[in-house]
Structure 1
Amino acid sequence: MMNMHKNTKIVLLLAVLVAGNMLLWTSNTMARKNDAFEQIGLLTALRRELVVSHVEEPDQDKMLRAAVEGMISSLGDPYTTYLFPEDMKQFDKHVGGSFSGIGAEVIIDETLKRVKIVSPLEESPAWKSGVLAGDIIYEIDGEDTEGLSIRDAVDRLTGPVGTDVTILVRRKTGEKETITITRAVINIQTVKGFSRDKDHHWDFMLDDINKVGYIRLTQFNKNSGPDMRAALEELKTQGAKAVILDLRFDPGGLLPTAIEVADMFLPGGKKIVSVKGRVVPEATEYSTDAGTVFDGEVIVLANESSASASEIVTGALHDNHRGKFVGTRTFGKGSVQQVRPLASGEGALKITNAYYYLPNGEKIHRVKDAETWGVNPDPGFYVAMQPKQITDMIKIRREGDVLNDENGAEKRKNITPDWIRDNLKDIQLAAGLQAAIGKINTGDWPKVGTDGSDDVRNAILMENLIRTRELLQERMMDIEKQIKKIEAGEPIEDDMSADAKAVKDTPDDANSEVKELAPAE
């Protein structure tokens, strides 16, 4: 009987605890709902007062857009956007590949509030016209881009095939340049070799003597996987001992294609990438034995314009010690977006709901004030290129296949790292070939660059100084506007832009931020 009473007490106690937890959960849920209702009530009341009482009749559609865009912009995430119903039609065209434009990935620079080029796609109109990664677009067809939403920017840059769009860009050097681009259908072959043969087919063998192949991947689309496999199979039949995989200026693309490409170089059972978010459970992708195509030496070339899918492949090969990564730290675009149509039918939300993580557990995505992001080369393989060097290299590449002539075969046999440096102005490719030759001939990887610590510190310092200069230039533009108003006899006010005001918050000593972010010595 004593045990029965004891058990009854335990059951009652458990019931009380469960009921208490249920009550607490219900209370918390109701509190959250009440908070949400209060916030919605505030917006509704504010809108009502503005619509009824403002001296000028408001554009209610414009108010709604501004409210939505303001709410999303508070996240500080340029990749999360709301697609209004009319935007969905354009979005569907882009996904389906039936749109035309300049061929460049763009975001909104958080500090300058202007359109920024992440990277132009190779062979795209933007690429051929000289647009560079990191360019800030100040004007589109003569209209200022300050405060422009990403949706409006894309609308202005895209358009019918054959039409022109003129942009005013500011380079990383601070110089401005006006560029006219003729829009075209963006349908690009993504897998390329070093030169074309007499039949205009890509030749993927870079160095016939040492048997070093070269494959350049410009983006990851549904055709990239099969084309990459075919290129590797061709190199295998030619006896390739090493392959240079060039992912520089690759803005990314499809995740399944990135996994497929990484799998081609990895033995089975290796971690390629993990995806997880606040409400998204972790999922990890692994390589398979069936997916392996090439087991020779691998050298990956990547730089600050290598983003998203290209960072996944670079990180997968780097972290699994599959070859060497030559170049500079990658861009740091490692977020996952999902398009969710709203139940009301009023458009859709393209929302970042997860991040990509490298096999070593580090997050690829760069967030504000982060000290680490992307993928870094190993010490001894950090090879940076200055803006002028990049411009010269791209110009030569853009001019065409420099070896595509009657003596192409003989020239190819004599290709050396020095020849590449002198003729192609590509010190990263030269370093990659030097690393491959050293590994093939000695069995060890020779150092072909620096350890990167000083370069990273200098890069951060340069970034800070460039940003400070841009903000000061913004202020100078505001001052010029004020002067013109005074000269014209117009009333003036202190309309210093928010971006220019940010100059006040810039550290007097740019080195102070470098000391915080630079690797410990």
Structure 2
Amino acid sequence: MNTRQKILIPILLATACAAGVLLGGKLDFSSSDALFSSNPKKQKLNRLIDYIDYEYVDDVNTDSIVDITVNKILENLDPHSVYIPKEEYAGVIENMQGDFVGIGVSFYNVNDTVVVIQALEGGPSEKIGIRGGDRILYADGTPLFNKDITNDSLTKHLKGEEDSRVTLKVKRKGIKDLLTFKVKRGRVPLKSVDAAYMLSPELGYIKVNRFSETTYKEFEEALEKLKKEGANQIALDLRDNPGGYLSEAIKIVDEFLEDDKLILYTKNKSGSVEETFSKRKGLLEKGDLFVLINENSASASEVVAGALQDNDRGTIVGRRSYGKGLVQREMDLGDGSAVRLTIARYYTPTGRSIQKPYDNGNESYFKDYMRRYKNGELSNADSINVDDSLRYETPEGKIVYGGGGIIPDVFIPQDSNNERNNIKLLLHGGYMSRFIFNVLEENRTFYNNVKREDFDEKVTISNEMVQDFVRFVGNGNIRLSVNNHTTLLKQYLKAVIAQQLYGTTAFEKLINENDPAIEKVLELSQKN
């Protein structure tokens, strides 16, 4: 990978994290009209916009003026008070609800044809037998292979009202005639728990990618499953988790703490404090607990890590977290858009704020990852800057620090040559997914008939496939040298094959092999 791309990696990772830490808590703001109806500042803005609308010499889109104005106002407050335009709001809500209504497939548009990547687990299509590689040619008689049809139009044909039906005509390789599937649209889960499996006979592993409305329910089911399989220790992986609903994070913490333990408190502009305590019998109040975090673990992820660390419950493993300790409240603006406004700060049980400074403006704030990258913090724990004035002590005497993220108890350095991050960049950019889809398409009958228990033996990644991938990304103007990457690249390519065939748990199990943080957790687990 060339020098320019290596520089871009930390920037892109920081941007991805920043885009995902906007929501700290969802609260009702239905009384907003009463709050602002007599505000003279609001009237001043209204008069200005009306004046431009009626008198300005040229035609002006005043909607765009309003959007710009709102954005500028919020930019001068803090990095996490944000405006969500109406064209983006529906997608944001869908992602955080944890499900959507549709037929439940992920797909590519290949040569003007809808080709299924995967029937989503738990969705209507999976239940009736639609498989990866199927080409959906017709929906209720409407051709879906029109050159002019857009992805938005395709989505409209496949989504619809809950319990409504759509008849699909599908072409499957190896079968001469079209297959007919009558699909009843339903709620398709957008899972926030990517994986739950046993790392050892006693240690269970749960990966949470965000905190949506369904996260606690998914987590509870995963934890109960692992306990039945013998888990009395848990590794909770919150790496790259940008946060989400505070309430879901609190419920997860409650599963690990005894009753009446402080989880966090919030303080608003008037100094009013609201405390949150554990209040019910948890599923794993005893037994070893390990929480994995990194520089992209933010917001609600930091609530979990901070609450457990401050209560001397478990071991935090990884690198210093992002540093977002602000709570947002959402307000509907009445036209399909919304604002998320910071209304409080949250504090961990010892009293520390983990919000990193933003006094130098948003641009500087979001470049914090670059500073960490350059000062060596990601590779050496001694390079983490701490402020002695923000020093706190847990009930058992552990020293912890506020002022910018959760510092782990056990430090795991980033790969010295940034190897894993280079590959993750290609993964998140969609290069691996598209390449593997093409690989599967070349021999779809074989791959669709490989059983999960036979996968490791029957599916191998050859050196030739690695070189094919190098040429594939080269077509996208990315120069990839595999001299130091071959083993890890093969591991990730195989994991993406498993993901497209079997789902996210199969993917996580494969990429976790030889992962330094996972290996450290296994070592700690065995010692305990």
When normalised by structure 1's length, the TM-score is 0.49
Q: Which has the higher contact order (CA 8 A, sep 6+)?
A: 2
Bigger-Rg structure (1/2):
1
When normalised by structure 2's length, the TM-score is 0.48
